Chain A
């Protein structure tokens, strides 16, 4: 059995707690949170040992691996502590707010031959994984244009302040929403070499962005555009979409449906013209289901790699570092002096 600890009992932490504890190869050996009441209720009803201090959990719980689901600004120091103790680490996204730290921690984990993962679960969604397979097979030729979008109903009014509303703590729609479609673009097209036209803009929040727009150029020659808004009540939940135009066709996907247009006969199952595939066909069954197969699949991938001691992985620290770098490029571009700082709202307000 692999002994796993989970730190951070927010939405993602509770979800990970449930999925990891349900995994047949996992012994859930400790949970940690700063909220003493929540922790005491969880301890009492689940029987899992609880720790109010992360250091104490790492020192006493005899863990093999730790799942970190704390506010983003805490990821880096917690990951470092875990790696120093020789633990395998699953960290929520975004990985680190400073990409230099991301690189350093990815190198540290590699030097210690530890298994790492970052919770970019969209890489485990059937439709988005199928895009990767199609691109690797050259199905749409050379990609020239990519559009990455995410919309959803998170911040719908002016409101009180939590870590998610503070940019320095890794809050805002850039780190929370845009990180996902950007991580997919990194997977499909690599890292951008140039970023321009970035606007990080509030809709209702006072201290951070609620929407993101920007343009990227990739070494392959592709141009990418990101368009994100988490103040969109018309969506029931987060909706992520990717569209890729290539010299030999076009691919469009959300988490449920994949639409492919090919100018010539493609890989097996893809004819000339339109092919549509659905999640029912593209998704592999999981041993336990909560919220979506991808969450279970990423947990299983991590645990399996720990069991087999395989450090390479589709969502490793190294892969997530590319996304941290892309996020940092967007932030730097948005804040560059040639731009109106603070976005349009302030400009118009004056």
Chain B
């Protein structure tokens, strides 16, 4: 994995500080050209991995990169699935089973599974899970996707419930079907590491908030620091600026001083900011 990964929150109106700012960003990036232009800047500044949700609009980016292989020879994607609001809004209307049926290419498999009853459950779960993953991966066909992530809402929902086999099912499918490493995004790293241990996932890639403030780091800054020092996992830090609450230079100095962090994922809306972050990180790493 590259040391710096480019994130996509800024493109989709996600801002953990201000709804107004989020809306301004959504307006600025409503044309795909505006997104692509910032991605081109990132690529040209040497940040060639795009860690992105499987939002419908990403399909326009992947189509562009697929059509221009000579422009982006080193472009890598780290897909993060699913785009959770799509499921959450569907669940409000149709309940969990209805929401899953809605996003399957063929709802029939779920109906057949339900008729089959309990004895088929394990095979069905794996079948449905892999179909859902394949549906989300369609937009990345023919592109480099060396790491595929499960989003934190799903990871943490399963984690709390104790539905841990799903992590192994996800990892297995991502490895065999896409020859990719599975990754897990979470807001509960210390607890997730225990769970991944339990289902035999060794040295997993785990992406979580890691920042000086302890913002959205369940288990606490100390719990995270202990995990970084003692536990074998490949850590990716996100939200290192705590949504802008920590000044950039201070945030980067702190994060680079933490042990065993393999990569940082960050978002930016201008070439100058991308370059500044890259240069700041270069001072320490």
Chain A positions within 8 Å of B, measured between CB atoms, are 9-11, 14-15, 17-19, 21-22, 35, 37-38, 40-42, 44-48, 153-155, 159, 162, 164, 176, 236-237, 239, 254, 256-257, 278-281, 285-291, 293
In the assembled complex, B79 has its CB within 8 A of some CB on chain A: no
Q: Does B156 lie within 8 Å of A256, measured CB to CB?
A: no
Q: Does B245 lie within 8 Å of A280, measured CB to CB?
A: yes
Asked if A154 meets B93 with Cβ closer than 8 Å, knowing A18-B157, A237-B85, the reply is yes
Q: Does A42 lie within 8 Å of B163, measured CB to CB?
A: yes
Which of A11, A154, A237, A286 has the most B CB atoms < 10 Å from its CB? A11
> In the complex, A278 Cα to B20 Cα: how many Å?
13
> In the complex, A22 Cα to B186 Cα: how many Å?
14
Q: Does B245 lie within 8 Å of A164, measured CB to CB?
A: no
Q: Does A44 lie within 8 Å of B118, measured CB to CB?
A: yes
- Can you give 21 A-B contacts (C-beta < 8 A)? A11-B92, A11-B95, A11-B96, A14-B96, A21-B162, A37-B117, A44-B118, A44-B122, A45-B164, A46-B162, A47-B162, A159-B93, A164-B93, A237-B89, A256-B19, A278-B245, A285-B218, A289-B188, A290-B157, A290-B160, A291-B153
- The A-B contact count (CB < 8 A) is 131
Q: Does A37 lie within 8 Å of B114, measured CB to CB?
A: yes
Q: Does A162 lie within 8 Å of B162, measured CB to CB?
A: no
Q: Does B160 lie within 8 Å of A35, measured CB to CB?
A: no
> In the complex, A14 Cα to B143 Cα: how many Å?
35
Q: Write out the residue numbers on chain A whose beta carbons fall within 8 Å of the beta carbon of B268.
A: none
Cβ of B162 to closest chain A Cβ, rounded Å: 5
Which of A42, A48, A257, A280 has the most B CB atoms < 10 Å from its CB? A280
Asked if A45 meets B13 with Cβ closer than 8 Å, knowing A37-B113, A288-B188, the reply is no
Interface size in chain B (residues, C-beta < 8 A): 56
Cβ of A120 to closest chain B Cβ, rounded Å: 17
Asked if A256 meets B88 with Cβ closer than 8 Å, knowing A155-B93, A280-B213, the reply is no
Q: Write out the residue numbers on chain A whose beta carbons fall within 8 Å of the beta carbon of B19.
A: 239, 254, 256-257
Interface 1/0 per residue, B198-233 and A, CB below 8 Å:
000000000000000111111110000000000000
Q: Chain B interface secondary structure, helix, strand, loop or mixed?
A: helix
Question: In chain B, what residue has the closest Cβ to A291?
Answer: B153
Q: Does B95 lie within 8 Å of A40, measured CB to CB?
A: no
Cβ of A104 to closest chain B Cβ, rounded Å: 29
Q: Does A279 lie within 8 Å of B17, measured CB to CB?
A: yes
Chain B positions within 8 Å of A, measured between CB atoms, are 12-20, 22, 26, 85, 88-89, 91-98, 113-114, 117-118, 121-122, 124-125, 153, 156-166, 187-188, 191, 213-220, 242-243, 245
Asked if A257 meets B122 with Cβ closer than 8 Å, knowing A45-B163, A280-B213, A285-B220, the reply is no
Cβ of A185 to closest chain B Cβ, rounded Å: 20
Cβ of A93 to closest chain B Cβ, rounded Å: 14
> In the complex, A9 Cα to B22 Cα: how many Å?
32
> In the complex, A97 Cα to B276 Cα: how many Å?
56
Q: Write out the residue numbers on chain B whose beta carbons fall within 8 Å of the beta carbon of A22.
A: 159-160, 188, 191
Cβ of A166 to closest chain B Cβ, rounded Å: 12
Q: Does B118 lie within 8 Å of A40, measured CB to CB?
A: yes
Q: Does B220 lie within 8 Å of A257, measured CB to CB?
A: no
Cβ of B169 to closest chain A Cβ, rounded Å: 10
Q: Write out the residue numbers on chain A whose beta carbons fall within 8 Å of the beta carbon of B20.
A: 257
Asked if A290 meets B118 with Cβ closer than 8 Å, knowing A9-B96, A159-B93, the reply is no
Cβ of A87 to closest chain B Cβ, rounded Å: 22
> With A38-B96, A155-B93 given, can you name 12 additional A-B contacts, CB distance below 8 Å?
A11-B95, A11-B96, A22-B159, A35-B95, A164-B92, A256-B19, A280-B17, A285-B220, A286-B218, A289-B188, A289-B218, A291-B153
Q: Does B218 lie within 8 Å of A287, measured CB to CB?
A: yes
Q: Does A45 lie within 8 Å of B125, measured CB to CB?
A: yes
Q: Write out the residue numbers on chain A whose beta carbons fall within 8 Å of the beta carbon of B113.
A: 37
Asked if A289 meets B118 with Cβ closer than 8 Å, knowing A21-B162, A22-B160, the reply is no
Cβ of B192 to closest chain A Cβ, rounded Å: 11
Asked if A289 meets B187 with Cβ closer than 8 Å, knowing A153-B89, A236-B12, A280-B243, the reply is yes
Which of B14, B166, B187, B242 has the most A CB atoms < 10 Å from its CB? B187
Q: Write out the residue numbers on chain B whose beta carbons fall within 8 Å of the beta carbon of A239.
A: 19
Question: In chain B, what residue has the closest Cβ to A8?
Answer: B95
Q: Write out the residue numbers on chain A whose beta carbons fall within 8 Å of the beta carbon of B124.
A: 41
Cβ of B18 to closest chain A Cβ, rounded Å: 5
Q: Write out the residue numbers on chain A whose beta carbons fall within 8 Å of the beta carbon of B118.
A: 37, 40, 44
Question: In chain B, what residue has the closest Cβ to A40?
Answer: B118
Q: Does A45 lie within 8 Å of B114, measured CB to CB?
A: no
> In the complex, A256 Cα to B243 Cα: how many Å?
11
Q: Write out the residue numbers on chain B whose beta carbons fall within 8 Å of the beta carbon of A15.
A: 157
> In the complex, A76 Cα to B178 Cα: how many Å?
50
Which of B91, B95, B164 has the most A CB atoms < 10 Å from its CB? B95
Q: Does A42 lie within 8 Å of B93, measured CB to CB?
A: no
Which of B92, B117, B122 has the most A CB atoms < 10 Å from its CB? B92
